[in-house]
Each structure stands twice: as C-alpha cells, then as structure tokens.
Amino acid sequence: MKQNNKLYPLNCVCIIIFILFLQVSSPVEAKVDTYLLNQKLDQIMEKPFLDGALTSLSIRSATSGELVYDYNGDYRLKPASNMKILTAVAALSILGGDYCFRTELLSNGKVKWGILHGDLIVKGKGDPTLQKSNIEEMVQKLKKQGVKVIRGDLIGDDTWYDDVRYSIDLPWSDEMMGYGSAISALTVSNEEYDVGTVKFKVSPSDKFGEQAQIVMEPTNTYLEIVNLTNTVNEQAKTNLSIQREHGSNRIIIEGNVPINATEMEEIIAVWEPTEFALHIFKQSLKKHGIKLLGDISRGVTPEGANVLISHSSIPLSEVLIPFMKLSNNGYGEMLIKEIGKVKTDEGSWENGLDVSEQTFSHYGINTDTVFLRDGSGISHANLIPANEISKLLYSIQKEDWFTTFFQSLPVAGNSNKMIGGTLRTRMKNSQGRVRAKTGTLTTVSSISGYIETKSGETLIFSVLINNIIDNKLAKKLEDEIIMTLQSL
C-alpha cells in the first residue's frame, strides 16, 4: 500500500504544538533567582552593627531541600528559643500529637461513712497544663465519691521525673523569673501556661501615701508578700520592683506607683512547685468542705494504692500552641523529661536529650556538630548550625504530624496572641505568609521557619545571630532578610 508522505510534515507540526502546549499548561516549580538573592542578602549582611558579631544564615527550597543561600551556615551558634523547634519535633515524633499527660488522686485507704481512712496521694505525671480549675474539678469529683474527711496526709508524688529542678546552665538570677521556673512532674500552671508560677497584679490605691493593691493569680497563702509600695501623685514615675528572695517564697514588692497608673503585671516562679501544687489542692479541699486531718508533704505512692480520680491534659497537639507561640520555657524542659521517661523510664534532662538526638539523626541531622543542654534554649551552651535547623525543617515536611507542627509556629503580623505569638508585632505587611520560631537571649537573636514568596514558592530559613550588642537591631535585620525573601 502506498503511503501518503505529504501528511508527515503536518503530523510533525501537530506533535510540536502539542508538546509546547504541555510545557505551557503543566505546573512549573517557581525558581528563585539565586544570583539576585545572593546580591541582596550579601548587601544586607554588610550592616556595620554586625562587626564583631557571629551571624549564620541558611535558606533552602522547601520543595527540593536545596540550599539557595548559605552564609556561615555550618557555624555552630547559640539558637536561643529556636531550640524549641528541635524539642517540638522530638516530642511529636516520639510521643505523638494525641499524647496526653495525667494527674492522679490515689489512696492507700478506703472510704467509709464519708471518711477516707488513709492518705490522699496526688501523683503528677508531667502535665504542664494543670491549672487551678483542673484541681477544682478533681476535688469536686472526690467529694461526689462521698469523701468528707481525710484521716491521713496529703502527699505529693513527683517521682515521675527526677528531682533535678533546674537545667544545668540556668543562672540562679533567673530562678525567680517566670521563664526560669523549677521543673517538677507535679506543677500548677497559670492562665498563660507558665508552669510553677504566680502572676502578680499591682494597682495604685485610691489615696496618696497608701500601699498599692496586690492580687495574686492563683490566689494563695503559700507565698509571703512584703508590700513596701507607696501610691504617689500622677506626675511621679513608676519604679516598681517585684523580687523573690533566693531559696524562699518571700516576695518583696517595693517602689512608687502613680495614682493614675494602669495595672502592672509580673510573673514570678515559686521556689518549690510540688509543694505549691499541694497547697492549691489543700486550698481546694477546704473550699469544697473536705477536711484534711493530716499534714502535706512530698512522698512516694505506696504499692497497692488505688486510683480514685484521674485527670488527662489537653493533647500534645494543643500543648504545642502555647509552647511554640508564647515560647514557654517550662514546657520545653518538661517535654524533654517526658521523652526520657517514655523511652527510658527515667524522666531526666540527660536521657531526654539523648533520645532526642537519636530522633534528629533520623532526619539527617549531623548530631556530631550539635551540642544540646536543655529543651527550651535558655542555655548559652546550646550549639547548632543554621544549616542543620533548615535541614530539619525540610525533612519533617513528610511527617503526618507536620501540619500540627506548622500550625504551632507564630504567624507574623497576626495580633491574636495565640496565633501571632512572639511575631504578632513584627512584619505586619507579610499577610500571614511567614511562620517561624523566634529566639532571644542576652547577646543572642534567632528566627527559623517558612515563608511563601511573592512568586508562590515556599522557602525555609534559619537566622542565628550571636555576640550582638543590640537585640533590637538584630530583630530588624531578621525582618529585612525575611521580607527580602518574600519579595522574590
């Protein structure tokens, strides 16, 4: 059969047109102009105030993981609260987003005629979210079980974790601050989720010369307040000081408070969180008409004790919101200890960090170049390169729990505290395209996360700045870097 060769040129043309159509209509990954990016970032990194500082910057494609900009990316630097990224990853990987923490009420006696013939044991299992309202609920349930009198003692069992209260590098001067609270498996959190702390609210009196009014949340008599304040005229300046004496629960509040001043707040950590939790329990027992005949003390749950009440926390997926968005240090340390407890049956910093490092290796992190001392980043001894942080942020995108992690990150420019978190007043023109974890210590500033560029590509970034004199200038530099990325 004779072929019609005249059709061949026409067929070739059709095929070429079809191929061109596919190329135009198929989605193409947006590519960053690396030459332009390098020019812009190199110029930013020449800021005079960076002279004498150490700066590390790592930018990756979220799609390929390829490094598109590297400025001292392999330098080991202090991450500050960017350490919480690593802790959150380890917690999600090991515990899972549905993981809950428990607090139990147990007894070695039985209830007869409204009398509990034995001790009431409060066993803490690392719940960082336990609040006074949860304690009230537990006590109400105990009352419904018919308990009117407790013949024994009220005992706090915090042996779920070891008895080391502070991470190894926490300075004693930070121990009274809300961000440096002591860590216990039995602790009470305030409404802003700061573990083992009390919020002080100070407002002026209605009359000159009188002491300022002081309110504690939660209300308690565990702390001793020494009120040395004075209400002064409106022209005077506020010079209020709230200090806890080291090694005690004596709070000294002193200074002048102008009569027209707004209410001032300060969060102070208690000296012994387990005893504070027991005090709140005792307070609640009294409020609900349950008489405690014995004393309160720390102790160990005896064998054979029966669980009377069990309280479960919110799941880890929700715990990560205040942890990451509000940069809650106490949560970070408790999560590390919980990881150690679950995997090795020892709730300690050492075991928790060892297990965490094994997890990071799974994501391709070179743990030989990482030095970790805590779960919050408060230690000045923590060291990690920016390239390792960006690599971790890339690798975890494949995990089922990645959405949970991503949503826990502060959103730049969102004024809602539980959404914007520590970025709520920064990069307000970013239109919600920046999600990142911030970090701040004296002489240290950091930020790492994700950004959607103008062209639609997602980039991963990590900026670590050490030995900086002015943290405000460092934050402005970080914002300039990130907004430069967004403009691409």
Task: Tell me the pLDDT tens digit for each residue of 19-49.
Answer: 443 343 333 345 678 888 999 999 999 999 9
Q: What angle do CA 474, 267, 212 make, to 5 degrees?
A: 120
What's the pLDDT score for residue 238?
86
Q: Give the single-character DSSP code of 75.
A: -
Known active-site residue 327: yes
CB atoms within 10 A of CB 331: 27
Q: Provide mean pLDDT across the span 181-190.
A: 96
pLDDT by residue (tens digit) across 445-473? 999 999 999 999 999 999 999 999 999 99
- Strand, helix or coil at 68? strand
Kindly name the residue from 84, 132, 282, 391 that is annotated as catalytic: 84
Instruction: Please give the structure tokens belonging to residue 211.
Output: 């002491």
Known active-site residue 84: yes
- Strand, helix or coil at 482? helix
CA distance 233 to 236: 6
pLDDT by residue (tens digit) across 49-62? 999 999 999 999 99
Handedness of CA 256, 179, 246, 373 (dihedral sign): negative
Q: Provide mean pLDDT across the span 388-404.
A: 98
Kindly name the residue from 327, 430, 448, 462 that is annotated as catalytic: 327
Cα dihedral 33, 35, 37, 38 in deg (nearest 10): 160
CA distance 312 to 101: 6
Domain extents for the chain?
34-98+316-486, 102-165+273-312, 197-269
Kindly name the residue from 56, 81, 313, 445 that is annotated as catalytic: 81
Of the chain, the percentage scoring pLDDT greater than 90 comes to 89
Known active-site residue 81: yes
Instruction: Please give the structure tokens belonging to residue 458.
Output: 């997602």
First to last CA, the chain: 60
| Band of pLDDT at residue 397, cut at 50, 70 and 90 | very high
pLDDT by residue (tens digit) across 331-349? 999 999 999 999 999 999 9
Q: Just give the CATH number of 102-165+273-312.
A: 3.50.80.20
**Class of the CATH domain delimited by 34-98+316-486:** alpha beta
Answering whether pTM is above 0.75, one says yes
